[in-house]
Amino acid sequence: MLIGDIIRRSADRWPDAEALVDATLAGDGARYSFAEWNRDVNRLADAFAQRGVGEGDRVALHTYNSIPEVNTYLAVSKLGAVVVPTNHRLAAAELDHVLSLAEADTLVYDPALADSVRGVERDLDHVATVAHSRASDPGLADVTYSALLDAGDPAEPPRPALAPEETNILMHTSGTTGMPKLVEVAHRGQWMNSMSNVAEPGYRHDDRILDVAPLYHSAGYFNNFLPALQLGATNVIAADFDPERTLSLVESEGITSFLGVPTHFQRFRTADVTDYDTGSLRHVVSTGASLSRPVVDWVRENLTERFFNVYGLPESTGFVTLLYPDDRWRNEDGYCIGEPFLNVEVKVVAADEDATPDDEVPPGEHGQLICRSDKITSGYRGQPEKTAEALRDGWLFTGDVVRRDEDGYFYLVDRMDNRITTGAENVYPAEVERVLDGFDGVSESAVVGVPDDEWGERVVAYVVRADPDLTADDIERAWREQSRVAAFKRPREIRFVESIPTNPSGKILRDELK
């Protein structure tokens, strides 16, 4: 099966069912049946084909969550071309890096993002704007999205003669440090991951899925949008996240499920949830970073008890592990990411650059998480050395440090790259952050290592206050009273800030703090 087959099959099976809702619009044109949606995708595919887009060509997307964005995903897939989704927050140089590494031929962008597009140096065959934009067309494009739809034939295009193992998406890594890499994602991996999501956490045909997580990212697209499309459920597209707006959509659209990052769930607590009827929610999923115990408790009390926690990455084409709601959220002694996801094998090996799959560490010890599955990437485009580092002996070496307990549950510690060495001891920032985030008066925190003449590196904590009267002495006192983390991991300096910089996946941008 190819990704372009999904919408055709859903349109054949459920032609009149509501398939797609644009939550950024009101009134006519905001709702589509599967048959209507498939016809628009076919029109767009034909219009791209008329402009020379074919098998293997790269079509980049630089947009917010929108119907034109998902239609471009699917239209390009029907032609056997390759989609290159980009983070709408990328600066011009970063966007140019992604487009050049992908050797993109065509760019579809939102005019509201024209400033970054203007700075792109790569020559492109075609540039198109999207409809339903937040800004007027600045004149950079040679065609508009609506003109492409008008020019296209709604008939089903010829199916490309591709193998399921061939690349469908070049998805860039989140890029918390350095320039992002482009992950080769095949048709087969997406199909396998999508069907695994049907089994666990258990998407259903009658679900109404809210797509508020960014669709250029693996979690939002692979684990939320595609399972709904494949099952004949309804996708409700939201351009971005706002707590009150999202809760209002849950009520008005009868949302049964959505996937979010920790930042979303932290911000939910600023809204008065009693103003909204959230009774339709059947389950929610958190991914991307650590969640503090108070946030977990709030979600389970105010939104739904069926709160899944998952771990995954673009290189794994979605989820690697999953923590069920009926398991205890084991945040007291670490950030639990659950057990291996369906069709994924997981090991913990030595946290060394030259470790092999045979270098397993015993339960309770820190080590690098590695995994293998038929949905694992074939590598990074144009970066053979990075590919060789990540893919060894059939396993994906994730670069994430975890530990496994005696019951087979995995606990995410931190990235190997984030490790702080202070006085010859290793400190993982996320361990320290989970302790700090549990202190009274702390809203959230981020920990980095800074150079120190005596210790090599000094542990520094950036803290956002929940209590404006909180002092560094209060944190020091609370640290002395805690027994979860060793004393040598104590922050030597506390810096109070208004907010913690994160990327859209909720991951802390530690380089910005440094």
Give the chain's domain count. 1
Whole-Å CA distances, 208 to 14, 37, 227, 249, 322: 15, 16, 11, 11, 21
CB 319 within 8 A of CB 193: yes
CB 256 within 8 A of CB 280: yes
- The pTM score is 0.84
Bin 67: left if φ > 0, else alpha if -120 < ψ < 50, else beta.
alpha
Q: Among 457, 313, 502, 321, which residue's Cα sits nearest to residue 399? A: 313
Residues in CB range of 61: below 8 A, 6 or more apart: 69, 72, 73, 83, 84, 85, 86, 107, 108, 109, 216
Looking at residue 55, what is its pLDDT?
Answer: 96
Looking at residue 27, what is its pLDDT?
Answer: 47
The answer to whether position 467 is within a domain reads yes
The answer to whether position 318 is within a domain reads no
- CA gap 173, 380 in Å, rounded: 10
The answer to whether position 425 is within a domain reads yes
Which residues are 319's β-sheet partners? 312
Domain span at residue 509 reads 419-513
The answer to whether position 299 is within a domain reads no
- CA gap 96, 82 in Å, rounded: 17
Using 70 as the pLDDT threshold, list the residues of the chain that sit under it.
25-29, 131-139, 174-179, 326-334, 424, 504-506
Looking at residue 330, what is its pLDDT?
Answer: 55
Looking at residue 425, what is its pLDDT?
Answer: 76
The answer to whether position 172 is within a domain reads no
The answer to whether position 464 is within a domain reads yes
The answer to whether position 430 is within a domain reads yes
């600066």: which residue's tokens? 91
CB 180 within 8 A of CB 172: yes
The answer to whether position 433 is within a domain reads yes
CB 444 within 8 A of CB 437: yes
The CATH number linked to 458 is 3.30.300.30
Amino acid at 144: T
Q: Supply 246's token pair.
A: 């999202």
Looking at residue 91, what is its pLDDT?
Answer: 82
